[in-house]
Amino acid sequence: MSIKKLVLIILTSLNFYFLSAQSNNESQLWLGISGKKKFNHGFVSKFQYRTRVIDDITRFRGSFLYFTLEKKLSKSFNIETNYRLALIENLMYHRYALGFEVEKKVAQSKFSLRPLVQYQRLANAIDIETSQQSKSFFRPRLTWETDLTKNVEFYAYIEPFYKIDNNFNVNWWQNALGLKYEVYHKLKLNPFFIWQPGTTKKNSNTNYIVGIDFEFNF
C-alpha cells in the first residue's frame, strides 16, 4: 500500500468522524506511545502512555498509564492482567483487569475473542469509562485482523461493556477501525477511529474518537 492510499484512508475516516459528531455528542482526540517486550517462557510485557483531549477537542482530559502482563499458554490461547493509572485534574483513578484471549487464523485473517473483567476502584462522572456508577464491567472483545500489504495491517473490533450488577446490562459499546503501519521493524504507527455509543439514559451520548499510537517493540 502506498503512502498516498494510507493518507486517503485516514482522511476518509476523519471526514466520517467530523460528519458524525453531532452537537449533543462529543468528539475526542487520543494520542499515545507504547512499548512491548517479549520474554522467555511466553511472557510479554506492555506499557502505554496516552493523553485525551475531550469536549470536541478543546479541553485536555488527563494522562493514562497502562501496564499489561501476558502469558502465552499455547499458540492460540493466552491470559493477561492489566492495570491503568489515570491522572485527571490532579486526581488519581485506579483500574484493574483480568482476562484471556483465544485466537483463530482463517486464510489471511486472524479472529480473536478476549473476555475481560474490569474493576474501577475510584470514579469520575465526566469520563464514560469511569462514571460514578461504574465499578465492575465484563468486556468481551471480538477482533478481526488482516494484512493489506507486507507493512500494513487492518483491524476492527467490537466490544460491549456489561456492567456487573443485578441487571447485567450493556452500558455502552466500544467499536474501532484502525491501521498498523510498520515504519521499520521496531516501530508501528497505529491511526484509529473509535465509536462509543451509550445505551442507557445516564450514558446516552456517543463519543467519536480519532487517535494515533506510536508502538515500539523491544
User: What are the domain boundaries of the chain?
Assistant: 3-217
DSSP 3-state of 18: helix
How many whole angstroms separate alpha carbon 88 and alpha carbon 124?
9
Measured CA to CA, the distance from residue 93 to residue 81 in angstroms comes to 17
Among 22, 1, 3, 18, smallest CA distance to 193 is for 18
**Maximum mean pLDDT: which of 6-10, 94-98, 162-166:** 94-98
Topology classification of domain 3-217: Porin (2.40.160)
- Judged against a pLDDT cut of 60, whether residue 13 lies above it is answered with no
The C-alpha angle 11, 186, 116, rounded to 5 degrees, equals 75
For the stretch 15-62, pLDDT in tens is: 554 444 444 688 999 999 999 999 999 999 999 999 999 999 999 999
> CA 2 to CA 170: how far, in whole Å?
40
- Residue 187: its H or E element: strand 187-197
Instruction: Average the pLDDT over 148-156 and give the result.
Output: 95
Strands 206-217 vs 26-38: parallel, antiparallel or unpaired: parallel
Q: What CA–CA distance (Å, rounded) separates 64 from 84?
A: 7
pTM: 0.83
pLDDT at residue 203 in the model? 67
